[in-house]
Amino acid sequence: MLDKLERLPPDPILGLAAAAREDSHPNKVDLTVGVYKDEHGLCPVFEAVTKAQELLAQEEVTKAYMPPAGSEDFNAGMQRLLLGAGHPALAGGRVSSVQAPGGCGALRIGAELVYAANQGAKVWVSDPTWPVHIPLLGSVGLEFANYRYYDPATHGVNFDAMVEDLQQAAAGDVVLLHGCCHNPCGADLTLEQWGVIADMVEAQGFLPYVDIAYQGLGDGLDQDAAGLRLLAERVPEMIVAASCSKNMGLYRERTGATIFIAKTPESAEALVSQALVAARRVYSMPPSHGALIAGRILVDQELDALWRSELVAMCGRINDLRKAIRDKLEAATQRDFAFIENEKGMFSFLGLSAEQAIRLREEHSVYMLNSSRINIAGVNAKNIDHFASAVAAVL
């Protein structure tokens, strides 16, 4: 039976990353996978994470299962981090959450609840969006529709087109929104535009589903969550999928949370009960290590302050890289790359064709997706000149 299965091609992003690793060119540049890298090309471990991990190792006396909903410190800390400690939804007891295996697991649990509530729900996703959104949400049986979002001509959000498309979203539909640092384009909604989306939710009755995987990597923890918080104040219910992979560096620990804002406290409790049943059939019990680390950081005043300072430094480096990349590309090509400095987070479209992206790989060992999406953090002082000259050569 099993020998009938054919070999499938690797994931496009992971396949390119593997090709980059195998490339022996001394000046190769890997801009593929969305993992933060420091100036030495390493994905660093936060000092706050190291200290929390040491405390955990000293105190841990069992490897028994976690509670089904996960770490209480982690869940409560993530709610405060995303919504702000004084948010009306928290004060009203309308927020609940479950720990999940990374942002991916969080997205899947939210999709399970959407399907349980309305099997006919249509999920509206931005064009473009993170490619894994479709299989993660669609694997439960949900259908999709696209709304226009990114305008390659302006390198920004085409908000008029977005609103025009989302006017077709019906009550019972779901609109997937990127909370900040849009993956893959880096172009974010303004706070005013978030307010327009809230108006549409109130008028049309669709459910907002916010994926926020990069809080703290755009303008800061509070600034990056401002749109989500505004929406949560205005709408009766919503789902949030959050990840600690990027802002705590817990990539391999798979640390995430699905957060529900409900109409009533009773509904918030019901949503958790539904989420636990869904989790039981998907992955059974939550992993412990990453959530215990993150939970310790979020409740320990000293560790929290240390982590926040490290995250500010990381965010500052990303924004400095954006300026440096803009300056180098403009000097090398005599073209306008101001949009790179204006975007947020780790990603940007360079505006190159697929043919140019392929030439960059084959002729210059500069690896990016065929869409010309790059991971900003893959650039450093050692490779930025080669990167800029290579782009100039294919242009």
User: What pLDDT does 10 receive?
Assistant: 85
Other C-beta atoms closer than 10 Å to the C-beta of 279 total 24
Catalytic residue among 165, 211, 224, 300: 211
pLDDT at 12 over 90: no
List the structure tokens of 217.
């990597």
Report the percent of the chain where pLDDT is more than 70: 100
Instruction: Identify the pLDDT of residue 14.
Output: 87
Q: Is residue 122 annotated as part of the catalytic site, yes or no?
A: no
Confidence category of residue 290, pLDDT binned at 50, 70, 90: very high
Tens digits of residue pLDDT in 30-79 = 999 899 999 999 999 999 999 999 999 999 999 999 999 999 999 999 99
Q: How many residues does the chain have?
A: 395
pLDDT at 75: 98
pLDDT in tens, 89-99: 999 999 999 99
- HEC string of the chain equals CHHHCCCCCCCHHHHHHHHHHHCCCCCCEECCCCCCCCCCCCCCCCHHHHHHHHHHHHHCCCCCCCCCCCCHHHHHHHHHHHHCCCCHHHHCCCEEEEEEEHHHHHHHHHHHHHHHHCCCCEEEEEECCCCCHHHHHHCCCCEEEEEECEECCCCEECHHHHHHHHCCCCCCCEEEEECCCCCCCCCCCCHHHHHHHHHHHHHHCCEEEEEECCCCCCCCHHHHCHHHHHHHHHCCCEEEEEECCCCCCCCCCCEEEEEEECCCHHHHHHHHHHHHHHHHHHCCCCCCHHHHHHHHHHHCHHHHHHHHHHHHHHHHHHHHHHHHHHHHHHHHHCCCCHHHHHCCCCEEECCCCHHHHHHHHHHHCEECCCCCEEEHHHCCCCCHHHHHHHHHHHC
pLDDT greater than 90 at residue 2 = yes
pLDDT recorded at residue 108 = 97
Domains, the chain, ordered by start: 2-45+304-394 (3.90.1150.10), 65-299 (3.40.640.10)
- 257, 40 contact by CB (below 8 A): no
Determine contact, residues 306/48, Cβ cutoff 8 Å: yes
The catalytically annotated residue of 30, 37, 51, 130 is 130
Catalytic entry in 28, 37, 51, 246: 246
Position 264, amino acid: T
Q: How far apart are the first and last CA of the chain?
A: 50
Q: How confident is the model at residue 11 (pLDDT cuts 50, 70, 90)?
A: confident
User: pLDDT (tens digit, 9 = 90+) per residue, 107-161?
Assistant: 999 999 999 999 999 999 999 999 999 999 999 999 999 999 999 999 999 999 9
Mean per-residue pLDDT, 308-328: 98
Q: How far apart are CA 339 and CA 160, in angstroms?
A: 19
Known active-site residue 211: yes
- The percentage of the chain sitting over the pLDDT mark of 90, rounded to a whole number, equals 95
| Confidence band for 217, pLDDT divided at 50, 70 and 90 | very high
At residue 180 the predicted structure's pLDDT band, cuts being 50, 70 and 90, is very high
Say how far apart CA 20 and CA 244 lie, in whole Å.
Answer: 26
246 is catalytic: yes
Q: pTM (2 decimals)? A: 0.96
